[in-house]
Amino acid sequence: MESLFKDPHQLSPKAIRSLIRKGKWDRPTAGLAMGYAQANLVILSEKYAFDFLLFCQRNPKPCPLLEVLEAGEYRTRFLSQEADIRTDIPRYNIYREGKLEATVKEIKGLWRKDFVTFLLGCSFSFEEALLRAKIPVRHIEQNKNVPMFISNISCKSSGIFHGPMVVTMRPIPSHKVSRAVQITSRYALVHGAPVHIGDPSLIGIKDLKRPDFGDPVTIKKNEVPVFWACGVTPQVIVMEAKPNLCITHTPGHMFISDLLNEELAIF
Amino acid sequence: MESLFKDPHQLSPKAIRSLIRKGKWDRPTAGLAMGYAQANLVILSEKYAFDFLLFCQRNPKPCPLLEVLEAGEYRTRFLSQEADIRTDIPRYNIYREGKLEATVKEIKGLWRKDFVTFLLGCSFSFEEALLRAKIPVRHIEQNKNVPMFISNISCKSSGIFHGPMVVTMRPIPSHKVSRAVQITSRYALVHGAPVHIGDPSLIGIKDLKRPDFGDPVTIKKNEVPVFWACGVTPQVIVMEAKPNLCITHTPGHMFISDLLNEELAIF
């Protein structure tokens, strides 16, 4: 347990993954390895892999692919050269027929040769960029989960995968909305620019105080609600498609990569 | 034949596709439907579809996917809502075991239910943007094909698909190189920003006067050679992989979409 005497927030991605692999860190990863990209995880049988890959290609804002591993492959090659996808994530959700069956700390025993692994970008990366530009991120200020809403924006379907886009909302001061668009445009691999700015009812959201997931946050007088595509979308889509087995990270318990957020920026 | 009395360069994408469908236009498409995106075509059996889709995900600069059609589907949904991929391209190349077998004007008779269609971005889109910004595009000035080189940059492999990146070279005046980077960065779906700027030998190119494909162009004293990922890459990669059957457009004879280049710009 000696490593835990150090502040885990000071550890490198590799050191944190090593703790996670040994079962010594099974908590959320927000705030760890600042500057490094974290990723969402979806594991599906090969049977669904083409359709899900195509779903991501058609819906790059909610489903920005950072890396896809071939069937049976559990070692990453691009996000890290030494990570093991079966052990290096703090908590995994096991879904059967779309229902959460268990939450576990590793999936070595469940691993199958037909598993295809998808790692998708996470908004932590662009939130760091917003904060660096002194753009407030309300749920971080208020120590809450980001508010998420099921919008009426349809994803483009692919095979069994179809459904609405989930969006996150961040209230941004009117005079900083342009800057927030510019900054997040650089991060197309972590949801990119907003999908909607302003009146929530136009995308089917009735009440900003009642998010579908996460917590409500304060919106000030001079602020505009700004909506980004959310990484919960692929999870909701996959759950609705009810594949016989699907493994994801447990929300908030992400894969920590060796890539700097800056390396993901598209320009 | 009445439509041909009009200048074809003034026709809409829909009108040109209609001419092509009737077999009345089987020439190159450069300069047609200015402002609209044109696309490269690759058709493969379902057997190779996941690997090729993953190859494109891993190599977005040479292989920028604009649209992928599910197995058996020959009607586009996003690039146009009324195009038929079997008839709406002026000329098709039929490759068996990696060898060019025939060049044909339509592929209705060859169509199979296991065919998966990939449409990829084409540099015509960003060249138009460069010209609008008064950045010279030498091969257009000299009425030649763009010079293309097989570089020593390796693509990331996927299944049977692997090989070097093919690049195009455009000489850009030194003081306009920054602007050329900025402009083409907006067009990530049509190869995006350059992959290399300056000394060709650093990417394995020995002689700019001897391109592997296309024509050599003049480089002036004040100009820097600037290299972009090239849409010939996927064709070379697919030919080297030698699938039993592959259908592509004939180089230069592209699919003309209903999307404006501006609609493809990522910011």
Contact check, Cβ <8 Å, A266/B185: yes
pLDDT digits (tens, 9 = 90+) for A167-178: 999 999 999 999
Q: Residues B16, B32: contact at Cβ < 8 Å?
A: yes
Model pLDDT, residue B2: 47
Asked if residues B213 and B166 have their Cβ atoms less than 8 Å apart, the reply is yes
DSSP letters of chain B? -GGGGS-GGGS-HHHHHHHHHTTS--S--TTSSTTEEEEEEEEEEHHHHHHHHHHHHH-TTTS-EEEEEPTT--B-SSS-SS-BTTTSSS-EEEEETTEEEEEES--TTT--TTEEEEEEE-THHHHHHHHHTT---HHHHTT-PPPEEEEEEEPPPBTTB--EEEEEEEEEEGGGHHHHHHHHHTTGGGT-S-SEES-GGGGT---TTS-SBS------TTEEEEEEE-THHHHHHHHHH--SEEEEE-TT-PEEEEEEHHHH---
A10: pLDDT confidence band, cut at 50, 70 and 90?
A: confident
More confident residue, B239 or A43: A43
Q: What is the structure's pLDDT at A66?
A: 97
The proportion of chain A whose per-residue pLDDT surpasses 70, expressed as a percent, equals 98
Q: Does pLDDT of B3 surpass 60? A: no
pLDDT digits (tens, 9 = 90+) for A23-69: 999 999 998 999 999 999 999 999 999 999 999 999 999 999 999 99
CB contact under 8 A, A57 and B65: yes
Question: Which of A54, A185, A188 is closest, CB to CB, to B53?
Answer: A54
Closest in A54, A70, A193 to B267, CB measured: A193
Q: Is A65 in contact with B78 (Cβ distance < 8 A)?
A: no
Q: Which of A44, A51, A53 to mutate to test the interface with B (most CBs of B within 10 A)?
A: A53
Q: CB–CB of B188 and A188 under 8 A?
A: yes
Q: Point out the residue among B49, B57, B159 whose CB comes nearest to the CB of A65.
A: B57
pLDDT surpassing 80 at residue B167: yes
Average pLDDT on B156-175 reads: 97
In degrees, rounded to 5, the angle at the alpha carbon of residue A159 between the alpha carbons of residues A157 and A163 is: 35
Q: Which of A56, A57, A70, A161 to mutate to test the interface with B (most CBs of B within 10 A)?
A: A57
Q: What pLDDT is stored for residue B9 in this prediction?
A: 81
The per-residue pLDDT for A8 is 81
